[in-house]
Amino acid sequence: MALDRWIALVILMISLLYGYTAFFTMDAGLPPFMKFNAIWPSTFPKGLSVLAMLCALLILLSPSQGRTEPKPGDIDYRRLTDYKLGQALILLALMVAYALLLRPAGFLLSTVGFLVISSLVLGERKLHVLIPVAVIAAVVVWYLVQQVLGIYLRPLPLFLTNGG
């Protein structure tokens, strides 16, 4: 089965779950006075779930259009391992790590770490250029976000700022 059908199947599952919630469990918590309304919070989702199921089934059951050749310049997922899959996965993991470390490690440390490590993963070796660039970028962005936009970003690790 081609990837687009697998995706249709997954979306079908999601819309079944969604539809089940809309049709059967959601209205239980509805206050009595709202039951006289023509529209309930579940009305619109009910319709959407039916539409989504219809579309997903159409994709799942429609006759295969043959093996469509990938467009030039597009990525052929059947040969995913021919691409730099490892690098992509490491970068994704780094992004997750960044999200988890942003608060405890502080903005400056996690940002410099993220920029430096991901460049290294991509094959950069000139540390004497890379580290200054990352540090300058982190400080500039921190200044812009914190001072210009006024959004709080803890710059330093937790243990240096007395809990914050």
Q: Which residues bind another protein (CB under 8 A)?
A: 2-4, 6-8, 11, 14-15, 18, 21, 26, 29, 34, 37-39, 41, 43-45, 48-49, 51-52, 55-56, 58-59, 62-63, 65, 68, 73, 75, 77, 80, 83-85, 87-88, 91-92, 94-96, 98-100, 102-103, 111, 114-115, 118-119, 122-124, 130, 133, 137, 141, 145, 149-153
Separation between Cα atoms, residue 2 and residue 19, nearest integer Å: 26
CA 145 – CA 38 distance, rounded (Å): 46
Q: Which is nearer to another protein, 129 or 160 (CB)?
A: 129
Q: How far is CA 63 from the centre of its chain?
A: 32
Give the residue from 77, 82, 86 showing the smallest Cα distance to 5: 77
Please report how close the Cβ of residue 162 comes to another protein at its closest, in angstroms. Answer: 20
Q: What is the smallest separation between the CB atom of 157 and another protein, expressed in angstroms?
A: 15
What is the smallest separation between the CB atom of 54 and another protein, expressed in angstroms?
Answer: 9
34-40: long-range contacts at Cβ-Cβ below 8 A with a sequence spacing of 24 or more? none
DSSP assignment of 34-86: GGGSS--TTHHHHHHHHHHHHHHHHHHHSPP---PPPPTTS--GGGGGGS-HH
Question: What is the closest distance, in whole angstroms, from the C-beta atom of residue 160 to another protein in the complex?
Answer: 19
Nearer to another protein, 26 or 135 (CB): 26
Q: Check: CB of residue 160 under 8 Å from CB of residue 108.
A: no
Beta carbon nearer to another protein, 80 or 160: 80
